[in-house]
Amino acid sequence: MKTKLITSGFLLGLALLLNPLQAQDTITKQHRLTIGGYGEAVYTRNFYSDNMYRYSHAESYKDAKSHGRLDLPHVVINLGYDFGKGWSMGSEIEFEHGGSEVAVEIEAEETGEFEHEIERGGEVALEQFWIQKSFGKGFNIRMGHLVVPVGQTNKAHMPTEFFTCYRPEGEFNILPCTWHETGISLWGKLGSWRYEAMVIPALNSNMFNNANWVKNGSASAYEFRVANHLAGVLRIDNYSVKNLHLGVSGYIGNCFNNDIVTNEFSETSPYKDVKGTVVIGTAEFDYKANGLVLRGNFDYGFLSEANLISSWNKNQNHQSFSPYPRSQVGEKAIAYGGEAAYDIFHPMKAVDDQKLYVFGRYDYYDSYIPSALTLTDYQWTDRHVMTFGLNYYPTDQIVIKAEYAKRFLKEQYNDEPSFSVGVAYSGFFR
Residue 208 one-letter amino acid: F
- Smallest CA-to-CA distance from 280 within 202, 175, 368 is with 175
Nearest-CA neighbor of 127 among 96, 100, 156? Answer: 96
Residues 6+ apart with CB under 8 A from 89: 80, 81, 83, 129, 130, 131, 132
Q: Please, what's the b/e burial string for 66-99 (b: 16 or more CB within 10 A of its CB; e: otherwise)?
A: eeeeebbbbbbebbbebeeeeebbbbbbbbbebe
Which residues, in sequence order, are CB contacts of 110 under 8 Å at separation 6+? none
- Residues with Cβ within 8 Å of 430's Cβ and at least 6 positions away in sequence, in order, are 33, 34, 35, 36
d(CA 221, CA 316): 15
Q: What pLDDT score does 323 carry?
A: 75
Residues 213/174, Cβ–Cβ less than 8 Å: yes
Position 430 scores a pLDDT of 77
Rounded CA gap, 217 and 205, in Å?
Answer: 6
CA 399 to chain centroid = 19
How far from the centroid of its chain's Cα atoms is residue 299's Cα? 14
Type and span of the H or E element at 27: helix 20-28
Beta bridge partners of 235: 196, 249
pLDDT means per 10 residues in the chain (430 residues)?
A: 44 42 42 91 95 88 91 94 95 85 54 55 84 96 97 94 95 94 97 97 94 92 88 98 98 93 84 94 97 97 95 74 82 97 87 89 96 84 97 95 96 94 92
DSSP 8-class letter at 209:
B
Closest CA to 296 of 367, 396, 364, 391: 364
Residue 377's nearest CA partner among 310, 304, 300 is 310
20-28 and 2-18 are packed helices; what angle lies between their axes, rounded to 10 degrees?
A: 130
Q: Is the dihedral of CA 314, 315, 316, 319 positive or negative?
A: positive
Q: How far is CA 146 from CA 173, 184, 222, 224, 402, in A?
A: 21, 8, 19, 15, 31
Q: How far apart are CA 366 and CA 384, in angstroms?
A: 9
Amino acid at the residue 261:
V
Q: What is the C-alpha separation between 102 and 120, in angstroms, rounded?
A: 7
CA-CA distances (angstroms) from residue 315 to 219, 294, 318? 20, 45, 8
Measured distance CA(179)–CA(127) in Å, rounded: 8
Helix (H) or strand (E) holding 310: helix 306-314
Specify the CATH class of 33-96+126-428 in words: mainly beta
- 8 A C-beta contact, residue 265 and residue 291: no
The closest alpha carbon to 193, from 147, 235, 133, belongs to 235
417: left (phi over 0), alpha (psi -120 to 50) or beta: beta
pLDDT the model gives residue 229: 95
**CA–CA gap between residue 348 and residue 358 (Å, rounded):** 15
**Domain(s) of CATH 2.40.160.10: residues in the chain:** 33-96+126-428
Three-class SS state of 59:
helix
Dist CA 169 CA 343 (whole Å): 23
